[in-house]
């Protein structure tokens, strides 16, 4: 498949998967505390990819182990706890806006360390879409009380995602996405997630019942699709594009989140529809190339 077409297909699929993660986190928090949600999400993904990692252990370059571990921690471990913690105190609208700041963080980081990789067109396109994300998420007129601590948690998680995207692109992009995902989760995160689950109190008074099974069902969906599969696709997207383009998925995610809200009984306002159009317009502007003079 043509790389240009593939990256847009991957962007669309990731938007659907990660845009659905907010409602899955919300549902999971009805059954487990934030630490258990984060630990279960990582552990289930680790168990899913561990066999493949063991079968291909010889393909892990020794000089890349430190970068795999770094990517595992900053891009997959800590953010998995920060998001559930924040979503216990903050609205999904504010969470959507902050998560959409990931391309902004990447632009600042690339301006500082890799100045040549960021063009004025990229900056403008991301800013247009970011304005659309704000309009989309606040279009219902309910901003609510701003709580700075959970906002800080989300800002930290988003910054970690941005650093991880640049790290993967610069240091690990030569590795096959499936292998990289397997090494990140199967090796680097298996024991940390298991220990986190133990210390979260998950196994204390554990009883197998319908309540537990329902909660595990929501977390399993979040882990298998929103973590394991999504990270493979994201690594592939980073392999065939750049960190700024890959991060634009966070600008499209609020559209999916709003659709889930509508299906859950919420209404879609005209202003929110305008915000979605602006997001797409910004991405189109980002994609098109200026005509040669």
- Per-residue pLDDT at 211 exceeds 60: yes
Ranges 124-133, 240-249, 269-278, most confident: 240-249
Q: What integer pLDDT is reported at residue 293 of this predicted model?
A: 39
Write phi, then psi, for 218 (nearest 5 degrees): -65, -45
pLDDT band at 161, cuts 50/70/90? very high
Mean pLDDT for the stretch of residues 253-277:
73
292 occurs within a structural domain = no
pLDDT band at 157, cuts 50/70/90? very high
199 occurs within a structural domain = yes
Mean pLDDT for the stretch of residues 10-31:
89
- Per-residue pLDDT at 292 exceeds 80: no
Cβ contact 248:105 at 8 Å: no
Q: In angstroms, rounded to a whole number, what is the distance separating the alpha carbons of residues 275 and 125?
A: 14
Cβ contact 25:222 at 8 Å: yes
Render pLDDT for 78-98 as a digit per residue (tens, 0 to 9).
Answer: 999 998 898 888 766 566 667
For the entire predicted model, the pTM comes to 0.82
93 occurs within a structural domain = yes
- Per-residue pLDDT at 178 exceeds 80: yes
Q: What integer pLDDT is reported at residue 117 of this predicted model?
A: 56
- Per-residue pLDDT at 62 exceeds 50: yes
- Per-residue pLDDT at 273 exceeds 90: no
Q: Which of 6-10, 170-174, 269-273 has the lowest mean pLDDT?
A: 269-273
* Full DSSP string of the chain: --HHHHHHHHHHHHHHHHHTHHHHHHHHTTTS-HHHHHHHHHHHHHHHHHHHHHHTGGGS-GGGHHHHHHHHIIIIIHHHHHHHHHHTTS-HHHHHHHHTTHHHHHHHHHHHH-GGG--HHHHHHHHHHHHHHHHHHHTTS------HHHHHHHHHHHHHHHHHHHHIIIIITTS-HHHHHHIIIIIISHHHHHHHHHHTTTTTT---SHHHHHHHHHHHHHHIIIIIIHHHHHHHHHHHS-HHHHHTHHHHHHHHHHHHHHHTT----HHHHHHHHHHHHHHHHHHSPPPP-
Higher pLDDT, 267 or 181: 181
19 occurs within a structural domain = yes
17 occurs within a structural domain = yes
Higher pLDDT, 273 or 150: 150
Q: Which of 70-79, 183-192, 230-239, 282-291 has the lowest mean pLDDT?
A: 282-291
pLDDT band at 206, cuts 50/70/90? confident
- The parent domain of residue 196 ranges over 3-287
Mean pLDDT for the chain? 83
Higher pLDDT, 254 or 93: 254
Q: What integer pLDDT is reported at residue 114 of this predicted model?
A: 62
244 occurs within a structural domain = yes
- Per-residue pLDDT at 235 exceeds 60: yes
Token pair of 78 as six digits? 């800590």
189 occurs within a structural domain = yes
The total domain count for the chain is 1
30 occurs within a structural domain = yes
Which residue matches tokens 């989309």? 136
Q: What integer pLDDT is reported at residue 252 of this predicted model?
A: 81
pLDDT band at 181, cuts 50/70/90? very high
């Amino acid at each position: 498949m043509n790389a240009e077409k593939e990256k847009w297909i991957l962007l669309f699929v990731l938007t659907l998967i990660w845009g659905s993660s907010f409602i899955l986190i919300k549902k999971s928090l009805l059954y487990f505390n934030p630490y258990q949600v984060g630990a279960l999400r990582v552990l289930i993904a680790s168990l899913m990819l561990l066999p493949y990692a063991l079968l291909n252990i010889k393909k892990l370059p020794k000089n890349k182990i430190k970068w795999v571990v770094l990517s595992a921690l900053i891009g997959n471990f800590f953010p998995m706890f920060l998001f559930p913690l924040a979503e216990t105190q903050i609205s999904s609208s504010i969470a959507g806006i902050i998560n959409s700041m990931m391309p902004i963080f990447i632009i600042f980081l690339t301006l500082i360390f890799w100045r040549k990789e960021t063009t004025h067109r990229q900056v403008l396109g991301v800013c247009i879409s970011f304005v659309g994300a704000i309009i989309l998420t606040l279009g219902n007129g309910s901003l609510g009380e701003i709580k700075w601590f959970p906002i800080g948690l989300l800002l930290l998680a988003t910054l970690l995602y941005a650093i991880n995207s640049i790290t993967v692109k610069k240091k690990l992009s030569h590795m096959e996405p499936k292998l990289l995902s397997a090494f990140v989760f199967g090796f680097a995160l298996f024991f940390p997630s298991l220990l986190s689950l133990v210390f979260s109190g998950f196994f204390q008074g554990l009883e197998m019942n319908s309540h537990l099974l329902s909660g595990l069902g929501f977390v399993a969906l979040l882990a298998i699709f929103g973590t394991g599969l999504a990270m493979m696709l994201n690594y592939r997207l980073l392999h065939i594009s750049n960190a700024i383009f890959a991060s634009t998925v966070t600008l499209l995610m609020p559209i999916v989140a709003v659709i889930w809200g509508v299906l859950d009984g919420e209404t879609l306002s005209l202003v929110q529809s305008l915000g979605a159009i602006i997001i797409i317009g910004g991405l189109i502007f980002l994609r098109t190339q200026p005509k040669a003079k």
